A and B are shown apart, each in its own frame.
Chain A
Amino acid sequence: AQTVTQSQPEMSVQEAETVTLSCTYDTSESDYYLFWYKQPPSRQMILVIRQEAYKQQNATENRFSVNFQKAAKSFSLKISDSQLGDAAMYFCALVTTSGTYKYIFGTGTRLKVLA
């Protein structure tokens, strides 16, 4: 069975500061993708960043970057220069490249950004 664990139900960060959200996962598959999605209040989920498991280089998207530790099955998200608009629920998701490509989600981390 595949699992995704987010151990931080809630995090706070001061505007312009940096915050790291944690995610660990478990799968026996060798080929998979990991995602971070953002879900603002009452709005739809949008993709923040994607990491292919076969790539050693950590993905970056502007202020967002990941620390992908494959052996440790860890996939954390770093948000630099936090902005008020970053406040949202953040979900870590795993998809393997076999089967139907359904997502396995973590329980989410609520990020609060303090002005």
Chain B
Amino acid sequence: DTGVSQNPRHKITKRGQNVTFRCDPISEHNRLYWYRQTLGQGPEFLTYFQNEAQLEKSRLLSDRFSAERPKGSFSTLEIQRTEQGDSAMYLCASSFFEGTYEQYFGPGTRLTVT
């Protein structure tokens, strides 16, 4: 297994455009998390999936954000009508249900909104 992968690695978009990011977790991991990391800060939790069910969403996740995990495999995070404040690194992590609570992180997608 090659670990958690994220695509694209970098995305530059103009304000007002929609963007979609993809995360492919480690195959046997049924828990999937999205975090956002801005410069000089630690990652902040956005949302969590257990299999295909989205079980928690942070207040950081405004109604312009939507996340899905169809069939409990890969996940997508969409941001509609992007704003400059959305510029950040978006991290995906996965973990196994019965375990030590360790999360495995992907390399992230860096979004720049101009």
Query: Footprint of B on A, CB under 8 Å?
Result: 4, 6, 9, 33, 35, 37, 43-47, 50, 52, 91, 93, 95, 97, 99-108
Contact = CB atoms under 8 A, between A and B. Distances in A.
B42 A106 contact: yes
B95 A101 contact: yes
Contacts of B108: 44
Contact of A95 (B43, B55, B91, B101): B101
Contacts of A37: 105
Interface residues of B, number: 26
16 contacts: A46-B105, A50-B100, A50-B102, A91-B42, A93-B42, A95-B101, A100-B48, A100-B50, A100-B55, A100-B56, A101-B95, A101-B101, A102-B45, A103-B93, A105-B43, A105-B44
Interface of B: 3-4, 31, 33, 35, 40-45, 48, 50, 55-56, 91, 93, 95, 100-103, 105-108
Given A43-B107, A101-B95, A102-B33, A108 B102 contact: no
Contacts of B48: 100, 102
A100 B49 CA distance: 9
Given A101-B95, A102-B56, A91 B43 contact: yes
A104 B55 CA distance: 17
